[in-house]
Structure 1
Amino acid sequence: MRTTPSPAGHRSADEQRHALLRTARDVADDLAADAIARDQAGKPPTDEAARLREAGLPAALTPPGPGRGADWRTGCAVIREIAAADSSVGDVLARHYVHAWSGRFYANDQHATALEEESVREQWLWTGAVRPPAPNDDAEGPDLTLRPRSTGYLLNGRRSVDTAVAAADQIVVDAVCAATGDVLVVRIPPGARGVTIEPAHGRLGQRVAGAGEVALDRVTITPGQVLGRRPHDEESTAPFTALAEPALRLALCHVGLGIAEGALTEARDLIRGGRAHRLPGEDPDLFLTYGELASAAQTATAVVDRATEAMAQALATGAQLDAEVPAGVAALVATAEAVTSKATLHVTARVLELADAPGLDRFWRNARVLTAHRPVAHRLRSIGEHYLNGSHRAVAATFR
């Protein structure tokens, strides 16, 4: 089908970027060919994960280092390209890329470097569900607990995971230490003893993303699987660690943009092929409608690109990041999320009025599921508080 990209060490950064984007386009074309059939089947993304590994994308979408990884801008461009062809796989890749940064967000430099090198070498596919600090964390007790033992911990509980729960190589979660009350971020291989995977069935959209629950019964966690502490509140969170949650939200904005772009492209091709309710050459109102939808998508793209640039600069700064920066980045991400959610839902609903073809509804279904747990009003309130009161905590705290 394709060949894995050649070693990056012998090419310039621009050459590496262009080669990775070419690979992403090839994978996207491959996924688009049977996207409708796979959506209808709704199976776990085992085959899709194999396609990604064959193309070398899990290894390529890791944090940048000497001769490896992808910078934030390039990683997001790859995610959007894949999502336009199949947003379920784009979702898998988005969460993989962000969780592959977990070593840098939570661990020390030496641990993070070793982890990233192993991830590239083994072509690990990452997923996870790390919850951000919140005032009511302990209201109902932790769902995951760690009990210390002589060497490491035993992990117990259940956690919902949005992608690749049965196809990933590493699942990143946070759990409360029963002895100290510390919240620790750990990684677990799904095949470990005591791990039970329960895939979700009958989803409205994102059917191939591989959502489900992971049940953990006395799962051994070695010291090497502990990435670090997740602070209990925003005030005690290191600036770089504070980027973890908005980074995930921003990556998912690129998935949303991919959905809108994919819907517009497929509707356009159907219209050109004569499978439309009205013929484009005879109806200026059709031009007007398509122009409105294209403008909405392009406006969302501009907002997301601005947040992407801010995030890229913050991630590149590393541990020296100023304490005030994450809140500003989070405000931009919240804005991008609000604009993208509205645009994607609007575009995917309206294209159904333009063309008539099986499978076109999947774009709206996928957009609905992707945005369902992130209400726009919630984001807008946090943005307003940030700008009116200069509140940094409010923007970060609402990223749930």
Structure 2
Amino acid sequence: MPTTPITAGARSAEEQRHATVRAARDVADDLAADAIARDQAGLPPIDEKARLCEAGLLAALTPPGPGRGVDWSTGCAVIRAIAAADSSVGAVLARHYVHAWSGRFYSAHHQATALEEESQRKHWLWTGSVRAPAPDDDTSAPDLTLRPRDTGHLLSGRRPVDTAVTVADQIVLDAVCTMTGEILVVRIPRSARGVTVEPAHDRLGQRVAGAGEIVLDRVTVTPGQLLGRRPHDEESAAPFTALAEPALRLALCHVALGIVEGALTEARDLTRGGHARSLPGEDPDLLLTYGELASAAQTATAVVHRATAVMGRALDAGSHLDAEEPASVAALVATAETVTSKAALEITTRVLELADAPGLDRFWRNARALTAHHPVTRRLRSIGEHYLNGSHRAVAAAFH
């Protein structure tokens, strides 16, 4: 495989950043070579995980610390590069990176540091599903429960997980404590006794993401696996904890940007190679269409980059984050989601009109699978509320 593993050593943060991005581009080239065949097969991402691990990307995409991890902007650049080649693998990496921050989002600093060092050392792949705070009138029974025991808890229930649940090393989940009613966030080793997974089959898109439903039967949760508490509502969340969900949503925006980039690049190459429905350079309508699509892609990129920069500064602030800042960050993330969702669906639909080649439809299917269950209306209303009323609440979640 034409990748260069990222090795630890005495290198500057800038050198580490460049090495990580170079490794991501090598992996992306490798994934692009057989992307259509793997999409058609729709198998669990066992081989894809091995490629990411061999290139050092699982170890590299952890929160930044002395001699380890990458900053938020670099992590998102890596996600986007991988997603342009294969958005299923991009989504796996996006959720891995954000869930690797779980120690910082939910637990004490010393516990987070030890967890991140172990994750890097063992090349863990992370995934998970932590629910957003429910509306006040939500009285539904919890799908996951934690029953206290003498030491630790027993976790039971079942929940869908969108990526890598079939191959991940650590799975982050929230569950309701049956004794106190608190919502606790835990990490569960995939290999733990009592954990089984029912893989999702015949998906429309994102077929190689390793989605499925995790089933937990009295799984032991030790005190060391308890990360912390998830607030019942948005208002009671600590400022840094409130970044957890918009961070995941923003990372997935970079997956959508990768889909856009991959679709446009492949359509352009096919057009230049004579697979276009019209001859390039001879049809002004064809040039107009590419101009419109390229402009839409650049607009989405600009909006996402702005949100990425603001999120990066908020994450760097850590415990010093201003209490009002998460709502502003979430508003920018919601705007980025709205723009990228529209751009991804429009561009991947229209490229099918530009070129005629097998496999080009996978971009539309992947964009549809990534955005189908996240309605724009709620996001726009929340953006409007924040703009008009200066609401301090986090802007409504779109990705659960």
TM-score range, shorter chain: over 0.9
Q: 1:146 aligns to what SS in structure 2?
A: strand
Query: 8 Å contact 1:73–1:308 — kept in the other structure?
Result: yes
Residue pairs, 1:1-400, within 5 angstroms = 1=1, 2-7=3-8, 9-136=9-136, 139-393=139-393, 395-396=395-396, 400=400
| Count of residue correspondences | 399
Q: Distance in 2 between matches of 1:275 and 1:146?
A: 56
Query: 8 Å contact 1:92–1:164 — kept in the other structure?
Result: yes
Q: Show CA shifts across 1:209-243 (max 9, x none).
A: 01000000000000000000111111211000000
The residue identity in structure 1 corresponding to 2:393 is: R
Query: 8 Å contact 2:106–2:230 — kept in the other structure?
Result: yes
Query: 8 Å contact 1:277–1:355 — kept in the other structure?
Result: yes
- Higher mean displacement: 36-45 or 387-396: 387-396
Q: Distance in 2 between matches of 1:268 and 1:137?
A: 50
Q: Distance in 2 between matches of 1:394 and 1:161?
A: 23
Query: 8 Å contact 1:4–1:54 — kept in the other structure?
Result: yes
Q: Distance in 2 between matches of 1:89 and 1:397?
A: 23
Q: Show CA shifts across 1:116-142 (max 9, x none).
A: 000000000000000111224851111
The TM-score with structure 1 as length reference comes to 0.98
Q: Distance in 2 between matches of 1:122 and 1:15?
A: 22
Query: 8 Å contact 1:124–1:168 — kept in the other structure?
Result: yes
Query: 8 Å contact 1:382–1:398 — kept in the other structure?
Result: no
Q: CA deviation at 1:13?
A: 1.7
The TM-score with structure 2 as length reference comes to 0.98
RMSD: 1.1
Which ranges of 4 or more aligned residues in structure 1 deviate by more than 4 Å? 396-400
Q: 2:17 aligns to what SS in structure 1?
A: helix
The residue identity in structure 2 corresponding to 1:326 is: P
Q: Distance in 2 between matches of 1:138 and 1:344?
A: 32
Query: 8 Å contact 2:246–2:397 — kept in the other structure?
Result: no
Q: Distance in 2 between matches of 1:233 and 1:76?
A: 28
Q: CA deviation at 1:158?
A: 0.3
Q: Distance in 1 between matches of 2:357 and 2:383?
A: 39
Structure 1, unaligned runs of 5 or more: none
Query: 8 Å contact 1:385–1:394 — kept in the other structure?
Result: no
The residue identity in structure 1 corresponding to 2:267 is: A
Query: 8 Å contact 1:84–1:262 — kept in the other structure?
Result: yes
The residue identity in structure 1 corresponding to 2:62 is: T
Q: 2:348 aligns to what SS in structure 1?
A: helix
The residue identity in structure 1 corresponding to 2:63 is: P
Q: Show CA shifts across 1:39-75 (max 9, x none).
A: 0000110110011001010100000000000100000
Q: Distance in 2 between matches of 1:337 and 1:100?
A: 22
Query: 8 Å contact 2:245–2:397 — kept in the other structure?
Result: no
Query: 8 Å contact 2:176–2:183 — kept in the other structure?
Result: yes
CA change 1:85–1:288 in 2 (3 A) is: same
Q: Distance in 1 between matches of 2:335 and 2:131?
A: 21
Query: 8 Å contact 1:234–1:397 — kept in the other structure?
Result: no
Q: CA deviation at 1:399?
A: 6.0
Q: Show CA shifts across 1:288-322 (max 9, x none).
A: 10011000000000000000000000000001100
Q: Show CA shifts across 1:331-352 (max 9, x none).
A: 0000000000000100000000
Q: CA deviation at 1:3?
A: 3.4
Q: Distance in 1 between matches of 2:264 and 2:367?
A: 13
Q: 1:171 aligns to what SS in structure 2?
A: strand
Structure 2, unaligned runs of 5 or more: none
Q: Show CA shifts across 1:69-93 (max 9, x none).
A: 0100000000000000000000000
Query: 8 Å contact 2:62–2:116 — kept in the other structure?
Result: yes
Q: CA deviation at 1:393?
A: 1.8
CA change 1:151–1:165 in 2 (3 A) is: same
Query: 8 Å contact 1:256–1:341 — kept in the other structure?
Result: yes
Q: CA deviation at 1:381?
A: 1.1
Query: 8 Å contact 2:386–2:392 — kept in the other structure?
Result: yes
Query: 8 Å contact 2:379–2:396 — kept in the other structure?
Result: no
Query: 8 Å contact 2:194–2:218 — kept in the other structure?
Result: yes
Using the aligned pairs only, state the percent identity: 79
The residue identity in structure 1 corresponding to 2:334 is: A
Q: 1:393 aligns to what SS in structure 2?
A: coil
